[in-house]
Structure 1
Amino acid sequence: MEPLFSLRGKNALVTGAGRGMGLGVARALARQGARVAINDFYQDRADAAAEQLRSEGFDVIGVAADITDPAQLKQMVTAVNQAFGSVDIFVANAGVPTGGMGYGKFLESDPAQWQQFLDLNLNALLHAAQAVMPGMLERAWGRFICITSESWRAGVPMGIAAYAASKAGAVGFIRQLAAETGRQGVTVNGLSLGTMNNWEGSEKIAAKSCMVPRAGSPEDVGAGVAYLASTEASWVTGQIYPLNGGSLTA
């Protein structure tokens, strides 16, 4: 009998996994036995991350693509299907454009700034679902997981309105897609992150705002995704799981 939460025999594709939270997700899935394709916008970063995990004994490849480009996204999924035979687990982790967050007051922002967040956090999600879902539905098994943010349900004075709006759109899509696929063995869920340790000052803020007084880590995110990707989570779909150290409880 396989141990709990084993992903042996499953194939995963994780976007934005060349570093940070995405790399933590890729490592966690690989530790559970999955073969993992690490996507990044930059080929050298995808390759370096893949080499790092291969040196740890995991079966991993790197695949570069701009996932906001539907053609590149489709080509990437095709490449992973050719390399692994299937994409059983898809994790939409990439969430910040290559130019960065671009903090600032919404009323002073340019619509071009909004579009990059909508393209990455919403439109890319739609295209990804159309690319990977047919295979999952045909096999009657699949996990479609989106890394989202607690900014979709809590206003913060950080100047991230467009980012938060794009994440809120993703939440709505997750719930609707889950309603279409659950009866066919494919689950769709989101993992909603609070204050993470990937920016300066996060630990100080988390110490004040979180019941567990620290910022979240790549390992925390990886563990949450590994559960949602597992067979044991087959009765979980259409859900947005908070991963926030207790900073929000409603």
Structure 2
Amino acid sequence: MSQTIFGLTGQIALVTGAGRGMGVGIARMLGRLGAKVVVNDFYAERAEETVAELRKEGIDAFAAPADITDYQQVAAMVAKVTEEIGAIDILVSNAGVPTDGMGYKKFLESTPDDWQKFVDLNMFGLMNACHATVPGMVERGYGRVIAITSESWRAGLPMGIAAYAASKAGAVGFIRHLAAETGRSGITVNALSLGTMNNWDSDALAKKTCFVPRAGSPDDVGAGVAYFASKEASWVTGQVLPLNGGSLTA
């Protein structure tokens, strides 16, 4: 009997920040490939709404609200998921925008409080989720970790997002080191680096800057995650895949 390429049947995937936007696309794609999908979001109602939407499509989905920047909440969430649903095989660290929004500010006009929220979410949020889930993967000899980062870490932009970009660069450094620590235990750790996405009024910019003249979509992100999550990608780790329509090629 032939196996479906990129099939994830029988696996359990936790997607953080999956109550909206790119996270929904990731959860939907993993679910369509057969995974049981655990939808995390800071807001419980948003997680529940996404789960209801996915279940209407026949996807096995579960809500797991928690503040990903709070290690104790993350550890409790993972313990509950493991007990009630099963061991987590795939972690997608997608949460990336603070609850109060991006708050675009030039660095010299910002304060340490402005910086902290990005570091807490994009670095410590990723580290919290990995620290809670990866030991179980190591124990079982199998796991996939995918971090969602941003092309802002690769190119300077006058947009007032220096702290955000720095936190995303930190996430890239972290996944490379975690990949080095866990590769011999059957774990792969990779990142998708997103360019101009359609979660804001971005089409005009994308048409000017991307070889493929459109903004990226949740489906695009879901497809990239599906590859990294698959058994077919078992020899890919410590890598960053640009998903940017060709806006950056170096």
Query: TM-score under structure 1 normalisation?
Result: 0.99
Aligned partner of residue 40 in structure 1, secondary structure = coil
The equivalent residue for 1:163 is 164
Report the alpha carbon displacement of residue 241 of structure 1 after superposing the two structures with TM.
Answer: 0.3
- Given the alignment of the two structures, is residue 183 of structure 1 paired with residue 170 of structure 2, yes or no? no
Distance of 2:169 and 2:125 partners within structure 1 = 14
| 1:113-162 Cα distance to aligned partner (Å, 9 max, x none) | 10000000001211211100111011111001000000001111110000
Report the alpha carbon displacement of residue 184 of structure 1 after superposing the two structures with TM.
Answer: 1.1
Matches within 5 A, 1:8-157: 8-157=9-158
Aligned partner of residue 200 in structure 2, secondary structure = coil
| 1:45-74 Cα distance to aligned partner (Å, 9 max, x none) | 100100110011010001110111111111
Moved over 4 A (4+): none
The equivalent residue for 1:224 is 224
Report the alpha carbon displacement of residue 8 of structure 1 after superposing the two structures with TM.
Answer: 0.4
Distance of 2:124 and 2:43 partners within structure 1 = 20
Aligned partner of residue 215 in structure 1, secondary structure = coil
Distance of 1:69 and 1:165 partners within structure 2 = 20
Distance of 1:89 and 1:137 partners within structure 2 = 12
RMSD of aligned Cα (Å): 0.6
| 1:5-32 Cα distance to aligned partner (Å, 9 max, x none) | 0000100000000111000000000000
Matches within 5 A, 1:170-249: 170-200=171-201, 202-249=202-249
| 1:22-45 Cα distance to aligned partner (Å, 9 max, x none) | 000000000000000000111111
Aligned partner of residue 72 in structure 1, secondary structure = helix
Aligned partner of residue 64 in structure 1, secondary structure = coil
Report how many residues are paired: 249
Distance of 1:58 and 1:83 partners within structure 2 = 17
